[in-house]
Structures are given as C-alpha cells and as structure tokens.
Amino acid sequence: MHIRIKCENGKVELQRTMTAASQLCWLVLLQVFSFSWCGILYPRASEKRVLMSLDGIWQFRAANSTSEGIEYKWYKNRLSKTGATIPMPVPSSYNDITQEKSLREHVGTVWYERHFFVPDSWRQNGQRVWLRFGSVHYSARVWLNGEEVMSHEIGHLPFEAEVTSSLRFGQENRLTLEVDNTLTYTTIPQGWVEEIETIDGVKKVQRYTFDFFNYAGIHRPVVLYTTPAVYIDDITTYTDVVGSKGIIYFNLTYDGLPDSHNEINCRVTVFDSHAKPVGKATKEDKIGSGFIGKIEIDDAHLWWPYLMDPAPGYLYTLEVRITTNKDDMKIEDVYRLPIGIRLITWSNTSLYINNVPVYLRGFGRHEDSDIRGKGLDLALVAKDYNLLKWIGANAYRTSHYPYAEEIMDFADQQGIMIIDECPSVNTEKYSVSLLEKHLSSLTQLIQRDKNRPSVIMWSVANEPRTQLPESADYFRSVVKFVKTRDTTRPVTAALNKWYSIDHAGQFMDIIGINRYNGWYSDPGKLEVIQPSLEREVENWHQLHNKPVMMLEYGADTMPGLHLDPSYIWSEEYQTDLLSEHFKAFDTLRNKSFFIGEMIWNFADFKTDQSTTRVGGNKKGIFTRERQPKSAAFHVRKRYLQLAHEIDGFPLADDLDKYTAPVHPKNEL
C-alpha cells in the first residue's frame, strides 16, 4: 500500500507491510510529527504537577465602548479604580447574573479581575507555571500584573500560556481579562451588529441566525498549574482491537530541551481500573522531541457504549514518565491519561464499534441552564448523564460547539458516544478569512479531544448554507483538512438543505440530516411524516452511497399544555410526532443504511427574543429544569426496547406501570 501525506514540510511517502488497521495507526502517529501542534493536555495533578483553581468570585464591569478599556489601560491598575465593579461568579455567563437588561443584551467588551497568591515553593528547581482557561466566549485578552500574556479567539475551547516570568511568587498577583462577545461574518459562529435608534440614542444590537442565546463570559474553569522545567507537552493515542488483544499506539512530545539533547528517558505503562499494571511499552522510538511506541494488552477490556455491555465505558490509565538531566539537575515529569481501547470503523451502510454494528439513539443538546447560562455546573452535568442513562440513550451530538472537558469526561466514563461538533453553525458568506477560523476551531477541537474513546465522529458544521455553489469548495477543504488531523473517525455535518441542492454531503463519510416534518414543514400534519422522511432518507443514501442518520427532528412543547386530539405545542402532539418518526425509522432500519436517531432537543433552552420562541426553544423532552414532559416516558420505552432488540440488553422492569391483571374473559 503506497500512501502520500501532504504536510507543511512537503510530502511524506510511507510504505508498510502491516495489517490495514495497524498501518493506519502508525500512519496517523507519524502524521502528528509532521505538524507543529502545541499540546493542550487537560491539567491533572501528579507527584510532579500541582494545580490551583482560580474559580470563584471575580470583579467585573462592562465597558461603554469596545475600545474604552484598552484606551484607558484598565489592565494597569485595579479594576475598581476605573469605576464601579460588581462580583461575578466564575465559571458562568454574565448575562443573567444581574437584574440589568442592558447587561443581558450587552454587545462588546467586559472586564474581569482576580487577585491571588502563589507560594515561593513554585519557583524552585526551574518549575514552570501555566495559566489555563477552559473557555471564554467569544474572544479574550489576558494580562497578568499589567503584562499581556495571551489572547484567544473562538469560544468553547481551551487556551493557555506559560506565565512563570510574569508571576510574583510569594506576593499578590492581579489577573485581568477583556472579553468580547461580538460576532461578525468572519467569526465562528457568524453574526453581525446593527445600530438601532432608541429614545436614549443609537444602540448596538447583535444579530445572528442560530437558534440559541449568545451567552458570554468565562464559561469554564480557570486554573494555574506547574510542570517541571522539562515537561510532557502532548500525548496522542490510537487503539486497535485484534481478537482479544487490545493495542495502544502512542506518541508523546516533550519540551524544555533542545532536539539535540538525547539524554532523556521515557517509560510508558498502562494500568487497569484497579490501578494494576497490565502492560508497558516494549520499545519507545525517539523521534525529534518525542517518543513513539505501542503497548499490547492480552484479554483487554474494551470500551463499549452504554447498554452494549454490562460494564460500559471501561477506562485504562496510560502513565507517561520522562526523566532527564538539565543543568546538572535530575528532572522528572509524570502525566496520567485515561484511555479506552476501542475500534471505530465504517462502511457505506454501517458504523461499527469493535467490529459490531452500532445504532445511535440520543439527542442534540445545549450547554444551557437558568442563571448560569453556559457556565459549567457539575451538579447539572451529573443530573443530565443520569437522565441520559435513565432514558436509554447511548449517544448525543455536542450541538453546536465543543462542550466542557468535564462533560466529556462523563461520556468517557459512562460509555456515551459523542458526535463532536465544532462551533460552525448556520455557516454562510463563505470567505478565506472564515475558512481560516473554521479550520482553527477544528484544529483546536481535535487536539483537545483526540484521545477520547467517547468521540466517535467529528461534525464540521450545523445547518450550513450548502445550497450555495461556493459551499462545495469550502467543505471539500474543511473535510480534507480534518482528514489530515485524524483518519480514525468519520466526518459528518448536520445538513438541512434538500439532497438535490446540497453541495456538502458528497464530502462526508456519514450523512447527518436535520428535518422538521410536522413542525416547520406541514405543521400539525402528522400524516406526512412517514412518507416524506422515508423518501428523503432513501434519496440521500442513493445519491451518496453512505450511511444516513437523523440528527434533528422534533416539536416545540409547552409543559402542562394538554390538548386531545393532539394539537401543536401540546405534550400530546410532541408524543404523536415522535411516534410517527419512530415508524419511519424502523422502516429505514430494515434497509440497513440508517444508523441512528437523535431528537431535538434533550432539554428546553434559552434563545434570543422572538415571536416564535415563548421563553426560549421548547423542543426539549425535559424542561430547562430537567423535569420530564410526557414524551420522555414514551422515548424511554423506545430507546430501552431498541437496546433490548439490537444489543440484547434486558428490559427495565418499570416500562409498563401496573394497571390491572390481563386475563381474557374465558380464562376467568
């Protein structure tokens, strides 16, 4: 097999005599060394690394203009000296924290400030100190003690910088952020700003076409952490399954030493869920500032999705240790990465996990809750996963942006499969500048989530305007780019243009469609759902000869509204609409190319104000407070019955509530 890889440094030609799967894993690992990627490993404490959380109450104020804070150098002194500040919880969105409508609808920059101490011990032995933000929406500039240390654009993704030289050890430090929520035609996602006349003068208004509220602020944890002077910068793993054997291919990169310094040792060990060592690398080959190798585990516990195995989400721990000498001092770093051993493959009709066909049943979701907005709330995360398991879901899509790493941890641990989506939603007005941002978001997303067993697919967009001819070249470039980063997972997008005018489906590995029969199309006409949906899905498959899945369908439902016969917006109508879709799905499942169904949405969520949105989008089968609507019980019965039919999982005892004994009259 002769393979060419195009990379920044030219073309690399590889020829191997291995199995196709093994060859692919080595190929992907070698590709990693062809690109200049910086690591963004999740901060984990170890015997060589210390973490300090900066979450809590920060000082906050909104700027009157986008340039005000920079012009008057608010980062040079305490923020309170620039004007009145208010306490602001981090993480959270700032929009719903106060009673001020102006802050909820603010367009432009806001400022955050936090004071903290770091111990003198942190500067011993040449330690490095890093400052990391899990997500700031949409763009951020960061100053430490008045010195700018980093900036970042694109929300929902982490960013960090080494700040050792900017810190005051054993003294108070001042951390200042400028956050800008402005969206334009070259941001991801897109938007535009209009000026409207009001009784108070001209007001800026943010416009966007996506259907969720543009929450802003420091949405995820802020942490300081230490590493040794020579440290593990990045780890990449790919896994294979051969019979009962699990194979882990890995590479790791380190930093802090010149490439010419060869006196560095590496030890990679795998531990099972009981912390017992079960495998170690027999050989680590040094390549540049890194090592590459593999570990084989006999009778491996595979990572299985929820309800496909009695012990779903099995995780091993990959322990990486490096040791070296620098300036006559021994240096050691240790990092432990949770990994799952599983194999994702696909054909023109099916998706497989560990060589077993998988049928996705789940939801589109949002990071959204009352008061907190998109701020990470671990209690809510735990509740959501318990609801997902209660209802029998095995998958969801991170619509329409990457979710918090802590949320993804739950998916890894509990066996929930993830379609991991970048922040490109309702993409239009295609341009080179937009493409650069789009590819940047995908680079950061894949770099962040590449090692997660729960991530089974990359989604490159939601409802892009693919009827436009220019979308063809655009998405050809996007998908090709993703394939240079990761060839072990299929690529998809949530498409909503009709198959006959869409220009993007041809480039996807799996076709995902959003369609609202009986709601936006023919509202109230449940009888159109089956024939329309079956015909369209068949046409998508016939056109592209690829698997097809339903990524969005549903109906807005006001909790407590009951109308019989069913009528739109009622709980009865939501249940009836889902049932008509279920009938179509079962017909399509029998044709062997339909691989999944995802309801829109898991829970109600906030949107921008609109005459079609009563307090937000109400398509959830749970309320925003995570209470079930009538349809939730109906969906639970279907999802658990599908798990029983497809994967042989025992039915729950409480699917049918007791009413009376069932005996025909002649048996009494």
Residues catalogued as catalytic: 463
Neighbour-count burial for 451-467, b at 16+ CB within 10 Å, e otherwise: bbbbbbbbbbbbbbbbe
CA separation for the pair 212, 558 (Å, rounded): 18
Is the preceding omega at residue 565 within 30 degrees of 0, hence cis?
A: yes
d(CA 116, CA 163): 14
Q: What would you measure as the largest C-alpha separation in the chain, in angstroms?
A: 94
- Residue 622 DSSP label: B
Q: Which of 601, 658, 484, 613 is nearest to 34 (CA)?
A: 484
Task: Cite the beta strand spans of 507-593 per DSSP E.
Answer: 511-514, 548-552
Residue 372's contacts (CB-CB under 8 Å, 6 or more residues apart) are 92, 93, 96, 380
Question: Helices H, strands E: what count in the chain?
Answer: 10, 35
Measured distance CA(331)–CA(335) in Å, rounded: 14
* Nearest partner of 625 among 647, 646, 603, judged by Cα: 603
DSSP percent split of the chain into helix, strand, coil, nearest 5: 25, 35, 45
DSSP 652: P
Can you tell me the distance from the alpha carbon of 62 to that of 405, in angstroms, rounded to the nearest whole number? 28
d(CA 320, CA 273): 16
Dihedral in degrees, nearest 10, Cα atoms 476, 213, 597, 402: 60
β-bridge mates for residue 352, sequence order:
345, 357
